[in-house]
């Protein structure tokens, strides 16, 4: 079953064209990771350890379990207690995955060491098409990693299975 359209597919449909995936969009680079890739991974890890970032990651990972579009709308309100964490975590992972999508870091290597960001993408995926009505590029790099790297696709499949088992036990998101 096909999911909601990607941002590019939506844009192309508005123009009356069918979106074709480029060669680079169909598969990750396949190049061997370099020492520069390794240094970048260590820097990304170090950034994740910063105290406020760690708090934000914990809040989103363990405290945000959207059950409806209303939950997604609520967390975007600047007055929501988890809004700052949502923005920090979402933008961090989008920047990280953008490095892979743009070829700055080898995609498979990057995702193997940074799969955590796909957790938020998976939590939002059922409502991504609605989110993109106002924010067309939302989670575009996360989506690219999920669809164009083997590791990203595997992480997403695994997370969706776990969500199906765990979501009923999760406390509702604070609104």
Q: What is the DSSP string of 102-165?
A: TTSS-HHHHHHT-TTHHHHHHHHGGGHHHHHHH-TTTTHHHHHHHHH-HHHHHHHHHHHHHHHH
Judged against a pLDDT cut of 60, whether residue 125 lies above it is answered with yes
> Which pLDDT band, with edges at 50, 70 and 90, does 122 fall under?
very high
163 vs 166, residue with greater confidence: 163
Distances (CA, A) of 68 to 13, 56, 74, 79: 26, 21, 10, 19
58 vs 19, residue with greater confidence: 58
Paired tokens of 127? 């409502």
Q: What is the pTM of this model?
A: 0.77
Dmax (CA) of the chain: 47
What is the rounded CA–CA span in Å between residue 78 and residue 146?
A: 28
């Amino acid at each position: 079953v096909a999911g909601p359209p990607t941002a590019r597919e939506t844009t192309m449909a508005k123009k009356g064209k069918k979106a074709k995936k480029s060669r680079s969009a169909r598969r990750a680079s396949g190049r061997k990771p370099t020492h520069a890739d390794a240094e970048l991974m260590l820097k990304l890890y170090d950034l994740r350890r910063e105290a406020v970032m760690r708090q934000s990651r914990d809040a989103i990972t363990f405290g945000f379990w959207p059950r409806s579009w209303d939950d997604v709308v609520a967390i975007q309100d600047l007055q929501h207690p988890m809004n700052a964490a949502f923005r920090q975590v979402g933008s961090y992972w989008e920047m990280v995955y953008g490095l892979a999508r743009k070829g700055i870091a080898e995609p498979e290597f990057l995702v193997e060491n940074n799969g955590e960001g796909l957790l938020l993408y998976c939590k939002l995926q059922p409502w991504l098409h609605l989110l993109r009505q106002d924010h067309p590029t939302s989670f575009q790099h996360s989506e690219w990693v999920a669809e164009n790297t083997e590791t990203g696709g595997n992480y997403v499949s695994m997370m969706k299975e776990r969500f199906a088992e765990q979501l009923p036990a999760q406390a509702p998101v604070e609104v």
